[in-house]
Amino acid sequence: MNIIKKTSMVIALLGIFIAFGSFGIEAFAQDSGSRRQGPPPEAYTACEGKSAGSTAEFESPEGDTVTGTCEQDGDRLVLRPDRSKGNSGGRRHSPPPEAYTACEGNSAGDTAEFESPSGETVTGTCEEDGDRLVLRPDNPPGKGRRNNTDG
């Protein structure tokens, strides 16, 4: 009778370990899925049909526009976000691709312009940004524009 009790207890404990063990594995699998490593899928989608060095953008899950350059990642292209010089913190947005395109063929210090996605004409000066030129707006969006109507 003592052997039957011990055997029953071992079987019961094994059942508990198996039940909680599979629950733990499933919970771990779900948890590790939320801690994605590497670029998001949108970073690959943004570069589909483009070539290495092309500019691209996508909207992040937070609603931010992420701009950057398509770079080779194995057998696929992936968008590597632009990083502003000296910007190690905060949520600063990178220039849109049009700001780079507007300065293609120009020199640093040249004036240029482009039309924003909202239809606004953005004018500014071409400045170096790494190995490329980018248009720095005379009146950056959201920086309190002044209309001089005094004559």
* pLDDT tens column, 32-71: 455 557 788 999 999 999 988 889 999 887 778 889 999 8
Residue 19 lies in a domain: no
Our count of domains for the chain comes to 2
- Taken in order 39, 44, 50, 55, the sign of the CA dihedral is negative
β-sheet bridge partners, residue 77: 72
What global pTM score does this model have? 0.36
Tell whether 76 and 102 lie within a shared domain: no
Residue 28 lies in a domain: no
Residue 127 lies in a domain: yes
Residue 131 lies in a domain: yes
Q: Show the domain range for 54.
A: 39-84
Tell whether 43 and 71 lie within a shared domain: yes
Sole residue written with tokens 């080779």: 72
Residue 43 lies in a domain: yes
- The CATH number assigned to the domain holding 43 equals 2.40.10
Residue 9 lies in a domain: no
Whole-number percent of the chain with pLDDT over 70: 67
Residue among 77, 75, 48, 45 nearest 60 (CA): 45
Residue 5 lies in a domain: no
Residue 116 lies in a domain: yes
